[in-house]
Structure 1
C-alpha cells in the first residue's frame, strides 16, 4: 500500500472528549485523512493490541494505511502497514525491517546519525506557539536541507 502523508492523523486518547477513538478515527478518515498513526503511550500491551485491531478494521474498510507508534510487535501482530520508531527506540536499520520513521526533536539531530534506513522524514509542529514559531519553521527548513544532502 502506497503511503500518502498529505493528511496524517496521529492519535492521542488523552486529548479526546466524549468520542471513542474508533469514532474519531472514522470521522477523520471520512473527512479526508490519508494515513493514521496509532500513538497511545500510556496503555498496557494487551489493550493497545485490542485497540490496534479495532482501528485496523476501520482503516482497512476505507483503504487507509495504519502505522503503529513504537511497538513493532503490535504492528506485526495486527498486520499494520508500518511502525513509527522514535529517536530513543531501537536503531533505524533494525526497525526498517518492518517500516517506519525516526523522530527527532530538532532537524540538526539527523546529521550525526545520517539518513540510512529512513523511509520517511516528517516534520510536525505539535503545539504551535507564537514565541516558538520562527524556531520551528527554521527547524522544518533545516530538515529539508539535511534530506537534500543525501
Structure 2
C-alpha cells in the first residue's frame, strides 16, 4: 500500500449542529437564492452574524433584485447568476469582504490582494461599518463586470 498523507478525520458539528471550518467559517452546502444565504448568515459565529445581516441588508437595498448564492462556504452577490461582484467569508477574528473588481472602486477598499483587481475590507468585532461607504462600493461594484465563478 503506498504511503501518502494521512487522511484528516471528518469535521464534527458543534453544539449548534453546524460544522465550522478553519476560522469558524460555517460549512454550508452550495446553492442559489436568498434562503441559502440566510442559512449561512444564521450559522455565522457570534458577533459575525450581525455583520453578515448588516452586509446582506445593505446589498439587498442597494442592488434591487440582487442574485445570491453560497459557493465554497461563502455568500456571493451578483447582478446575474454566476457573475459576482462581492462576497464575504468568516475568518478567526474578522469578516473578510471581497470586492472582485475592487481596484476600480473610488475610493478603493483598503485591503490589497495578490489578485490585481480584487480589494478587501476586513471587518473586526470592534469596527463600526461605514454603511454609506459600503453601500457606495456595492453600487459601484454592481455596475462593473462581475467575476464568473
Name the TM-score class by shorter chain: under 0.3
Bigger relative CO (Cα 8 Å, ≥ 6 apart) = 2
Bigger helix fraction: 1
TM-score (norm 1): 0.23
Bigger strand fraction: 2
